[in-house]
Structure 1
Amino acid sequence: MANISTMDKTELIIGTRNSKLALVQAERVSDALNAAHPHIKFPWKTVSVSGDVDKTSPFLKFGGPSDAAKNIWTEEMEAKLSSGELDLLVHCLKDMPTRLPNGCVLGAIIHREDPTDALVIKKSLQDQYTDLSQLPPGSIVGTSSTRRKALLKWKYPHLKVQECRGNIDTRLRKLDEGEFSAIILATAGMNRINLTSRITKHLPPSEFPYAIGQGALGVEIREGDTRTLSIVQKIEEPLTRWICLAERSLLRTLQGGCSSPVAVNCTIESGSDKPSTIHRLRLDGTIIHPHGSSQVSTFAVADVASDKEAEALGETLAKRLEENGGRDLLDEIRLVQEKEMNATQN
């Protein structure tokens, strides 16, 4: 990678995907950075990524049970970051691989919205049903997430789960046109583009755990760019960072990725007599078979006051999951997904 310096720049260019949600997120980050650094401008440029070009294929097609599958949302932008065309990237954190390419680092984790999943029932059915358990047997629920599909099959075997990809507006249109009885989306995305009123129910994370990093924004920068690092860290909240680092450490240790059904629920334990800079976190983790036939769940608790301690919490939980049957389950999941991926390519 070229030796690129931002030391004298009075303008740092943000890279983002070209969707309504991505643009709202980029604007929010730009506004926060402008407020913290009024002497610097933070315009943004849009980049077309492969995950947006192919809006129909299941995510499994792009990489199987591997963290690298998430590159469909980041790779093209990272090339422009490395070349110096862009200075920082704004991603949905859940879309970022837990291992970034050489020359790129996660500079900041910011603006975590409600991390839960949202149930959206078709308008014509909203007077009759308000919960997944109420939908009649055979009702079609749409989602593009392997995790959500697995959870639906595990908890609601009477429902039929089908692929539903596209941006939020596209998925809502498919719902309203009758392809599905309901769809499941991230609450954060719905909130950010002012569609909260469409949410039928927020799915409790204790029952329907969410994706690693869901609801948070990740700011990616060039490795060694100390000035940009110090600039983006000004708008970061430490507790948000530590919670998300713990979740990402869990996934990285398990070597799961975009196509692995791994779910979490991280909560702040009350009643701690520790100083305000120390937070007692409880991290619950679940691995679900994609067919909904089995699952492994457990939790870990730790006092966290640094990145290292946050990541150690994730590693501890990953090891407990593995010891409780998670390693065998992940091996089985890989075999199932490799078989399904080969079937889609033949």
Structure 2
Amino acid sequence: MKKTVRIGTRGSRLALWQANHVAACLEQAGIMTEIVVITTTGDLVLDRSLDKIGAKGVFTEELEIGLRTGHVDIAVHSAKDVQSSIPADLELLAFMEREQVNDVVVSFQTDLNLHKPGLVLGTSSTRRKAMLKRFLPNTTTAEARGNLQTRLRKLEEGQYDALVLAYAGVHRMEYDSLIRHILPETQFVPATGQGSVAIECARSLESELKLELQRILDHGPTHICLAAERAFLRTMEGGCSIPSFALATLTTAGTVQLHGGLISLDGNNCLKKYSQLQLPMLMRLVYKWPRKY
């Protein structure tokens, strides 16, 4: 294939890691690539929490404009940042193999005690804030916006005792040595899509190219699980600014187990739903229906 695939991405180090990972996979398959950095609203507005910015797709909207105009061929997102409903002229082409899904506590304090009263934990996630209030009520949360390196600088300056982050980003940026606690996913159920990289494109992209990109980038088991999680998220018309959670896993019995729910902002109320879905039905959903998840 002679076409150079233009990859749209945000400009943070983590976003560029993801884009370069996609590029490496494509180039290994003989496809030339070019990385195009696009700044999103979520990158520019750092003085407000995500739930107060007011718009869905704060990390994806400008990238989607690039897809529509042909400025880029594909856009690379953290799957957890993708809004619940995709515009009709766009589609989620692939979900790459998922990393470990857990939230982790990162700190420069080697003996960090999560049960110490008054511990200040930095996070920008409404879900994490609510869960911390529920499961670690003696801690205090503080807003922590910005890319990972900015948050770590604030941590080093003493603005927080620790940060609560997704393991995937910490691991990909090689900060594993700062992980003090891995929070159990049975309590701190992750956000929809956490740990996976999503590939979005315009529906008008050449069909032959789409099929080739899917073949190289899409991880079937991850796609099935994220389709289930995103179907749950869509019922609440939510995105990364609401305190929802969903985690789907494949079972040896040939089903998908979905654990999803919603937690109140104060952490006092938590609605959970467990579902078992037959795998053949989900495979039809993923591989035969239009990819609008």
Whether the TM-score (by the shorter chain) exceeds 0.5 is yes
Q: Given residue 299 of structure 1, which amino acid in structure 2 is its aligned partner?
A: Y
Q: Write the distance in 1 (CA, Å) between the matches of 2:143 and 2:276.
A: 35
* Partner of residue 227 from structure 1, selected from 208, 211, 219: 208
Question: Structure 1 residue 25 and structure 2 residue 22: aligned?
Answer: no
1:83-127 Cα deviation digits (max 9, x unpaired): 111111100011111212232111111131111111113x2x322
CA contact (8 A) 2:232 2:246 kept: no
Q: Distance in 2 between matches of 1:163 and 1:13?
A: 34
1:127 matched to 2:111: yes
The aligned counterpart of 2:195 is 215
Equivalent in 49, 69, 73 of residue 83 of structure 1? 69
Where in structure 2 are there 5+ consecutive unaligned residues?
Answer: 288-293
Asked if residue 242 in structure 1 is aligned to residue 217 in structure 2, the reply is no
Q: Name the amino acid aligned to 2:105.
A: L
Give the structure 2 partner of residue 281 of structure 1. Answer: 256
- Give the deviation of 1:308 after TM superposition: 4.5
Partner residue in 1 for 2:291: none
Report whether the alignment pairs 1:97 with 2:83. yes
- 2:122 matched residue in structure 1: 142
Question: Is the Cα contact below 8 Å between 1:56 and 1:166 reproduced in 2?
Answer: no
The alpha carbon displacement at 1:35 in A equals: 1.8
Q: CA deviation at 1:71?
A: 1.6
Question: 1:309: Cα distance to partner?
Answer: 4.7
String of CA shifts for 1:199-232, please: whole Å, max 9, x gaps: 1121110121100000101101111321232122
2:36 corresponds, among 19, 35, 45, to 45
Q: Which amino acid aligns with 1:46?
A: V
Q: Does 1:163 align with 2:143?
A: yes
Alpha-carbon separation, structure 2, partners of 1:221 and 1:165 = 28
Are positions 1:179 and 2:159 aligned together? yes
1:245–1:307 Cα contact (<8 Å) kept: no
Q: Which protein is richer in helix relative to its size? A: 1
TM-superposition CA deviations, 1:229-274 (whole Å, max 9, x none):
212211212111000110011000122222211112323323x2xx
Contact 2:81/2:239, CA 8 A, preserved across alignment: no
For residues 256 and 97 of structure 1, what CA distance do their matches in structure 2 show?
A: 7
Structural RMSD (CA): 1.7
Change (3 A) 1:49 1:128: closer
Q: Distance in 1 between the 2:249 and 2:33 partners?
A: 33
Percent of pairs with identical residues: 36
- Tell me the equivalent position of 1:303: 278
Residue 273 of structure 2 aligns to a residue in which SS?
Answer: strand
Q: Which amino acid aligns with 1:127?
A: D
Question: Structure 2 length normalisation: TM-score?
Answer: 0.92
Unaligned runs of 5+ in 1: 1-7, 64-68, 273-278, 312-346
Note the alpha carbon deviations across 1:295-338, whole angstroms, 9 max, x for none. 11120112213444579xxxxxxxxxxxxxxxxxxxxxxxxxxx
Q: Are the counterparts in 2 of residues 81 and 221 from structure 1 also a CA contact under 8 Å?
A: yes
Alignment partners' CA distance in 1, 2:214 and 2:81: 20
TM-score of the aligned structures, taking structure 1 as reference length: 0.78
Aligned pairs (5 A) from 1:53-72: 53-63=44-54, 69-72=55-58
Deviation digits for residues 153-205 of structure 1 (CA, Å, limit 9, x no counterpart): 11122111111111111111111211111110110001111111211121110
Q: Which has the larger radius of gyration?
A: 1
**Count of equivalent residues:** 284
Larger mean CA deviation between 112-121 and 144-153 belongs to 112-121
Aligned residues of 2:84 and 2:238 also touching (Cα < 8 A) = no
Partner residue of 1:261 out of 240, 243, 249: 243
SS in 2 for 1:169: helix
Secondary structure, aligned partner of 2:246:
strand
Conserved 8 A contact 2:2-2:32? no
Determine the structure 1 residue equivalent to 2:28. Answer: 35
Kindly tell me: are residues 82 and 310 of structure 1, through their superposed partners in 2, closer, same or farther at Cα, counting changes over 3 Å? closer
TM-fit CA distance, 1:76: 1.0
- Verify the 8 A CA contact 2:258 2:274 in the aligned structure 1: yes
Does structure 1 conserve the Cα–Cα contact (< 8 Å) formed by 2:8 and 2:73?
yes
